[in-house]
Amino acid sequence: MICHITEGEMRLEQDGKTFTAKKNFVWTCNKDTKEQAFNDGNVVAIMRITDLKA
């Protein structure tokens, strides 16, 4: 999967690591990846997810 923050900012926890995704940040994750997303800000955060298939 490819994830993209198009608006706002989110705090993400992915497999025990924490990072902040700001506007236009892009990251990937594999099958069975454990991930939590938190919107700690005052504005709406929009995340686009693209699921890649072989």
pLDDT recorded at residue 2: 93
Residues 11-21: pLDDT tens digits?
999 999 999 99
Q: What is the mean pLDDT of residues 33-54?
A: 91
Number of domains making up the chain = 1
| 9 backbone dihedrals φ, ψ, rounded to 5° | -150, 140
Q: What is the mean pLDDT of residues 4-8?
A: 95
Domain around 28: 2-50
Q: What is the mean pLDDT of residues 42-54?
A: 90
Mean pLDDT, the chain, integer:
92
pTM above 0.85, yes or no: no
